[in-house]
Amino acid sequence: MNGPSRTFTPGGPLRGTIAVPGDKSISHRALMLGASALGETRISGLLESDDVRATAAALRAMGVAIERDGADWVVQGLGTGGLMSPRAPLDMGNSGTSARLLSGLVASQDIAVTLTGDASLSRRPMGRVIEPLSRMGAEFRSRDGCLPMTVTGAKRAIPIAYRLPVASAQVKSAVLLAALNTAGTTTVIESETTRDHTERMLQAFGAKLESGAEDGAKVIRLKGESGLRGQNVMVPGDPSSAAFFIVAALLVEGSDLTIRNVGMNPSRAGLLAILREMGGAIEIAAEREAGGEPVADLRVRQSTLAGLDIDPALAPSMIDEFPILFVAAALAEGTTRTTGLGELRVKESDRLAAMAAALGTIGAQVEEHSDGLTIHGTGGAPLAGGGPVPTRLDHRIAMSMAVAGLASTRGVTIDDASPIGTSFPTFIDTLERTRA
């Protein structure tokens, strides 16, 4: 059942200083590694979204004590191999990260877990984690490689060497999490570098992990059964959430917005590089480190953007940001072309089809291809607007079209605003505050 529709209308500029919620990818991993460590893990800045709450609830159902202590979250770890079979299926909601990474965590433990999800998640393919985890000894029962899915962990998992067939941080992370409770050394090889939050955090928790370049690929080796120790984790602001406000400030006349404490991990920095190349006025200040991750403050001012041909090699470093980049391209001068984006067809929705249809509905000129979009920009003129635009239960489609509404003539109506809560529960409040 759809939630409430909502219309986002043009108005004043975006001004002031904001902070975006904690990084979703890092929040998931902090909970899972905290559960797998011995001792207490204290997490500050955890993203309190539907997706992350699904991970926390699943870990609690497997015996992990997780409590809020003031602004922090505290996890009492059970050590590697310490999870227990839950009494009921675990609901992953809309979270592909929860489903795939927890499959890895369970795969090398002598327990059985059934994972379920909402209608959107139940259409997303799990075969990409089933294949390597089955090689490690786990057993899977699923509906055509989708949820609901039962994972039966291996009593004694087998270390493997696995070359990723597609650039996927989730698949890489699932294999590395399974390796924690697997005797011997597990190796993951990726031809295209993906976000490295898992490797950074594993090392911070004390895992015996090494990574480096070999024969043009990144090779990661993890020695299992070495034990993790509880840590204090500081979660930086999510760059994927910041992206919506960055693009909004670039597009809305008179905007001058500062976004504090944004994660600047190089494996997530593709969008910033592209927007600056398009002519976006984005200043990076107060660069520092928090919890093993680089962070900075960003000052963004309204700018005239120019279309680009986007290098497909940048796709893994900005895979979640393409929907909002498409909005920026729709108002740029000239044409923006993207290729190599087949992965977007198996996200929370088919994001290529969804964004092509959504932008077309509100007056943008868009051509859809098998692996990308070609967008002919307005040269800065506002889009017509309209709707209701189908969000397809996809939080990034919903927020991208909200931003498009700010740069339109008569506003943009989305059919369902509720998916926004999966990653950015305070999005609408923050947006209204910047325009007050």
pLDDT of residue 1: 38
**Whole-number Å distance between alpha carbons of 220 and 244:** 32
Tell me the residue range of the domain where 38 lies: 24-226
**Are residues 66 and 87 both part of a single domain?**
yes
**Are residues 404 and 386 both part of a single domain?**
yes
Name the residues annotated as catalytic. 320
Q: Mean pLDDT, the chain, as a whole number?
A: 96
Q: Which residues are annotated as a binding site for 3-phosphoshikimate?
A: 24-25, 29, 168, 170, 320, 347
- Overall number of domains in the chain: 2
pLDDT digits (tens, 9 = 90+) for 139-197: 999 989 999 999 999 999 999 999 999 989 999 999 999 999 999 999 999 999 899 99
Q: What is the pTM of this model?
A: 0.88
Q: In the listed set 195, 226, 257, which residue is the last one of a domain according to the structure? A: 226
**Are residues 211 and 320 both part of a single domain?**
no
**Are residues 267 and 344 both part of a single domain?**
yes
**Are residues 254 and 196 both part of a single domain?**
no
Q: What is the CATH number of the domain that holds 201?
A: 3.65.10.10
Q: Which residues are annotated as a binding site?
A: 24-25, 29, 96, 124, 168, 170, 320, 347, 351, 396
**Are residues 267 and 312 both part of a single domain?**
yes
**Are residues 138 and 37 both part of a single domain?**
yes
pLDDT digits (tens, 9 = 90+) for 276-300: 999 999 999 999 988 789 999 999 9
Longest dimension (CA), the chain: 61
**Whole-number Å distance between alpha carbons of 269 and 319:** 10
**Are residues 174 and 270 both part of a single domain?**
no
**Are residues 325 and 360 both part of a single domain?**
yes
Q: In the listed set 177, 205, 226, which residue is the last one of a domain according to the structure? A: 226
Judge whether residue 346 has pLDDT over 90: no
**Whole-number Å distance between alpha carbons of 335 and 320:** 21
Q: Which residues contact 426 (CB under 8 A, 6 or more apart)?
A: 21
- Has residue 44 been placed in a domain? yes
Average pLDDT over residues 353-380: 97
- Has residue 240 been placed in a domain? yes
pLDDT digits (tens, 9 = 90+) for 30-57: 999 999 999 999 999 999 999 999 999 9
**Are residues 321 and 179 both part of a single domain?**
no
Structure tokens at 302: 């309204």
Q: In the listed set 202, 226, 250, which residue is the last one of a domain according to the structure? A: 226
Q: Is 431 helix (H, G, I), strand (E, B) or coil?
A: helix
> Strand 412-414 relative to strand 386-389: parallel, antiparallel, unpaired?
parallel
- Has residue 231 been placed in a domain? no
**Are residues 428 and 294 both part of a single domain?**
yes
Query: Predicted confidence band at 434 (pLDDT cuts at 50, 70, 90)?
Result: very high
Q: Which residues are annotated as a binding site for phosphoenolpyruvate?
A: 24, 96, 124, 170, 351, 396
Measured in residues, the chain has a length of 436
